[in-house]
Amino acid sequence: MKRSLSSTPEDIGIQSVAHGKERIVLGNALLHLPRIIKESVPKAARHVLISDVNVYAKHGEKLVQVLRDSGLQPFVKVLPAGEGSKNRELKAEIEDWMLSHACNRDTCVIAFGGGVVGDLTGYVAATYLRGVDFIQVPTTLLAMVDSSLGGKTGIDAPAGKNLLGAFHHPKAVFIDPTYLKTLPKREFVNGMAEIIKTAAIRDPLLFEFLERNIEDILSLEETVLRKIIMTCATIKAEVVALDDKEAGIRCILNYGHTIGHAIEALVFPDLLHGECVSIGMVMELELANIIGHLKSSSTIGRVSRLCQTYGLPVTLPKGLAPMDILTKMGLDKKNAGKKNPMCYFEKYWGCF
Q: So which residues are the catalytic ones?
A: 130, 152, 194, 236, 246, 250, 254, 257, 261, 273
Q: Which residues pair with 112 in a beta bridge?
A: 51, 137
Q: How far apart are CA 103 and CA 98, in angstroms?
A: 5
Closest CA to 346 of 286, 292, 266, 309: 292
Question: In 183-321, which ranges are continuous DSSP H helix?
Answer: 185-202, 204-212, 214-218, 222-242, 257-267, 273-290, 298-309
Q: Say how far apart CA 110 and CA 299 lie, in whole Å.
A: 40
For residue 326, the tally of other CB atoms under 10 A from its CB is: 12
Cα separation, 88 vs 272, whole angstroms? 22
Provide the 8-state DSSP code for 132. -
**CA 106 to chain centroid:** 26
